[in-house]
Structure 1
Amino acid sequence: MNLLYWLDPWEFSPTVVIALLVPAILFVRGAHKAKVSILRRISFWFGLVALYVALHTRLDYFFEHEFFMHRAQHLVLHHLGPFFIALSYPGAALRAGIPFSWRQHFVRPALETPVVRKLLDVVMHPVVAVTLFVGLIYFWLMSPIHFVAMLDWRLYRVMNWSMVIDGLLFWWLVLDPRPAPPARLSPGKRVLVVIAAIPPQIILGAFIFFTPHELYPIYSICGRAFTWLSPMRDQQIGGLLLWIPGSMMSVIGALVALRHWMRLSARGRLRSERRAKAKQGLAQPTSAPASSHR
């Protein structure tokens, strides 16, 4: 079996193809206009390919038949893929990739509607952002809900896409390199937001790892992909994936946000520093011109 065999989708989904192809085309069109660096391009394509692999390859069979593989899938969908896409700061390139007339007549009016603006204000609020980021992990790992989601293909796809969308919103908010405004949060709040998401992930991962009984029997009922792996060992590995790599991604995000904070501070682009400079400029007395005597 070659690489093309594994890239072939387990279940073809036109939604996945369209959802990933559109930003890919826009990025290709706009990357040159927006002068995107090589490292940012690599970051964007790595994140987008990671999402494709986790959503639309033969690995999906293993994601549906082993708990630890399912956790690896969500680690990519919720953390790794969105993280690298947000790290590439693709906003300018994606906007440049949209034809100007479309931006003027469709995109800008849609984004400026009260409903969209209010919705973004809500989901981008720091408390809501952390609650959604952590809450979705807890929600989909509740045993009764997880049982149904792994049986119903429609709910299974809703689960996966909710992780992708929430991951993109969260990391876009946290990894924004700009000062506030135009960024929604100040650099200090971005660091606090991502740090706040770490303890709940550690707690849930540790709970799954140390629970002495099987929490997710759906995998034993439907048949496991790896028959040599016991249900409890599978569950423990899944808990570790949430506990350690998931938390480490948040630590890395906090370090990136901290780096942006220090860079903006060094350049004097923080709001508090701009205000201090403005007050200092107003406080300096103006020297009156000396009068001339004949």
Structure 2
Amino acid sequence: MNVLYWLEPWEPSPTVVIAMLIAAVLFARGVRKAKASVARQLSFWFGLAALYVALHTRLDYFFEHEFFMHRAQHLVLHHLGPFFIALSYPGAAMRAGIPYPWRHRFVRPALRMRGVRTMLDVLFHPVIAVVLFVGLIYFWLLAPVHFVAMLDWRLYRVMNWSMVIDGLMFWWLVLDPRPAPPARLSPGRRVVLVVAAIPPQIVLGAFIFFSPRELYPVYSICGRAFTWLSPMRDQQIGGLLLWIPGSMMSVIGAVLALRHWMRLSARARLREEKQADVTASARTRTSSSAVHANQH
């Protein structure tokens, strides 16, 4: 049993393959034009590979048959993978990877459409963003919803893709290194945004961990991958994965957002100091010229 065996999909999905190929091709085409650093490139490829492993390998069998493995999958889909992709700031590279005629004819007109702009403004509103980020975790872990999602393959894929898309949107907002504008949020609001997402994750993870009864019997009904692990122990490990690693990812995001804030603030101060020096020099030259003229 080698690595290739584990990389084979448990349930083949053309959607996953096409989406990953498009992202990879666009980034590879545009990375030279955008002059992305080696660190940014490594971050992007690691995040994309993590998403592929969590969506389209033989590990998916274990994700469907153990609660703690399912939580590990969503930790990758909602936190780890999108986090590293957003950290690479791939927007410029992927935009450059689109052929110019396509950008001019399709992408730009689509982004200028009122409906598209309104939808993006709503989805990227800080309150909506944090509610969606935390709310999707809560929604898919509601016992009745979770039961159906793990039995219906169509709903199962909707659940996984919703986590990926929402994770990309959220971490894009938080880890955007640019000042506002052109970034949608100011550096301070980015810090507040990610910090606001931490307590609800801790509460839900602690609730699952300390629950005295089995909350998700679907895994016992369908058969567990690890028969040596009791249902309650499986549930407790899953709660811990949401409680600790999930919250820690948000803490790391808050630290990086704070770092961007400090960097942008320092840059703004330097610009203000330079402007003040230029203004003072101009005033000095004006005063000197006036004195010289009076003397004559």
Check whether TM > 0.5.
yes
2:142 aligned with 1:142: yes
List per-residue Cα deviations over 1:15-57 (Å, max 9, x = no partner): 0001111010001000011111111100000000000000000
List per-residue Cα deviations over 1:155-187 (Å, max 9, x = no partner): 000000000000000000000000000000000
Q: Which residue of 1 aligns with 2:74?
A: 74
Q: Which residue of 1 aligns with 2:290?
A: 289
1:139-178 pair list within 5 angstroms: 139-178=139-178
TM-score (norm 1): 0.95
Q: For structure 2, which runs of at least 5 residues remain unmatched after alignment?
A: none
Are the counterparts in 2 of residues 82 and 167 from structure 1 also a CA contact under 8 Å?
Answer: yes
Q: Which residue of 2 aligns with 1:236?
A: 236
Counterpart CA distance in 1 for 2:171 and 2:128 is 14
Are the counterparts in 2 of residues 179 and 269 from structure 1 also a CA contact under 8 Å?
Answer: no
Amino acid at match of 1:232: M
1:2-151 pair list within 5 angstroms: 2-151=2-151
Counterpart CA distance in 1 for 2:71 and 2:269 is 40
Give identity over the alignment, percent: 79
Q: Residue 266 of structure 1: CA displacement?
A: 1.2
Q: Residue 214 of structure 1: CA displacement?
A: 0.2
Q: Residue 289 of structure 1: CA displacement?
A: 2.1
Counterpart CA distance in 2 for 1:159 and 1:172 is 20
Counterpart CA distance in 2 for 1:183 and 1:229 is 47
Q: Residue 75 of structure 1: CA displacement?
A: 0.1
Q: Which residue of 2 aligns with 1:213?
A: 213
CA gap 1:22/1:274 in 2 versus in 1, 3 angstroms: farther
Q: Which residue of 2 aligns with 1:256?
A: 256
Counterpart CA distance in 1 for 2:76 and 2:232 is 23
Counterpart CA distance in 1 for 2:73 and 2:290 is 72
TM-score (norm 2): 0.94
Q: Residue 265 of structure 1: CA displacement?
A: 1.1
Q: Residue 274 of structure 1: CA displacement?
A: 5.9
CA gap 1:59/1:102 in 2 versus in 1, 3 angstroms: same
The alignment of Structure 1 onto Structure 2 pairs a total of residues equal to 290
Q: Residue 281 of structure 1: CA displacement?
A: 5.3
Counterpart CA distance in 2 for 1:245 and 1:121 is 30
**Structure showing the higher helix proportion among its residues:** 2
Tell me the SS of whatever aligns to 1:168: helix
Amino acid at match of 1:141: L
Counterpart CA distance in 2 for 1:118 and 1:80 is 28
Q: Residue 226 of structure 1: CA displacement?
A: 0.3
List per-residue Cα deviations over 1:176-229 (Å, max 9, x = no partner): 000000000000000000000000000000000000000000000000000000
